[in-house]
Amino acid sequence: MSRPEFDEYAASYEKLLKDPIRDRFGGKGSRFFHERKRDLIRAYFRQRSANTRSMSYLDLGCGKGDLVSLLRDDFGRVAGCDPSAGMLETIQGVQTRVQTDFGKIPFGAAEFDFVTAVCVYHHVPPEARLALTCEVNRVLKAGGVFAIIEHNPYNPAARLIVSRTPVDADAVLLTQRETSKLMGVAGFSCQVSRYFLYFPESVYRRTGDAVEKWFGKIPLGGQYAVFAIKNSRSL
């Protein structure tokens, strides 16, 4: 495998994400963005009355482990993997493994109840996306849940930020429809999809999620999430 490009970014990752629009939207650093994803995931399972403490969770392409760390106490087992050993280096309290092959997930079949891939797929070449999604299918138990969260290419600010962020030099954004289709082909049934990040942190803190949820089908939020279930007789 060639040296993962995120090894080059790992030491100054947060600095490389800095962008005036992003900073105005989410405040200093990335915490707001990670917390929004954590809250979407919590809401998804809460609505299904699922006991996540008995579940195992893998964050594919976990990077510095921000999301998986925020969810560490929500699940019985949490793990992360990434092709970049540099990105994984500082993660604590979470089982991590390096993906020595970009297309293979370094865990066994049916090990997890829940897998996320957050801002990963736009770094995966389009021709490699289906095989990676089939890999997620492999590591999930029957009925397990896969959530993909991605930048929304219909949002002009998201596109502008991606176009000038050094770590996104290779980015090929995918629409929510493309993501749902990919998951369907790989043996998943899409259950919930919504756009989010319509309002900056200062507004969101006052209005809460109810207002954003109301907008959730309008394809203008900065990002979107698709939750899908592994079909019982998939692949």
Chain residues in the site for ligand SAM (CB under 6 A):
4, 6, 60-63, 66-67, 82-84, 87, 99, 102, 118-120, 123-124, 132, 167
Kindly state the smallest distance separating residue 49's Cβ from ligand SAM, in Å: 27
DSSP strand pairing (140-151 vs 112-118): parallel
Between 136 and 229, CB nearer to ligand SAM: 136
- In this complex, which beta carbon is closest to ligand SAM, that of residue 21 or of residue 210? 21
**Residue 167 CB, nearest distance to ligand SAM (Å)?**
6
The nearest distance, CB 228 to ligand SAM, in angstroms, is: 18
CB closer to ligand SAM, 82 vs 212 = 82
Residues 6+ apart with CB under 8 A from 6: 13, 63, 82, 83, 84, 86, 87, 167
What are 190's strand-pairing partners?
Answer: 228
- Which residues neighbour 85 within 8 Å (Cβ) at sequence distance 6 or greater? 4, 7, 98
Nearest CB to ligand SAM, comparing residues 13 and 204: 13
Residue with smaller CB distance to ligand SAM, 61 or 187: 61
Cα 217 → chain centroid: 19
Choice between 11 and 218, CB closer to ligand SAM? 11
Token pair in block for residue 120: 């990963």
| CB neighbourhood size of 187 (10 A) | 21
Shortest distance in whole angstroms from residue 156 CB to ligand SAM: 20
Considering the complex, what minimum distance in angstroms separates the CB of residue 221 from ligand SAM? 16
Evaluate whether 100 touches 1 at the Cβ level (below 8 Å): yes
b/e 7-30 (16+ beta carbons within 10 angstroms → b): eebbeebeeebebeebeebbeeeb
At its nearest, how many Å lie between ligand SAM and the CB of residue 109?
Answer: 18
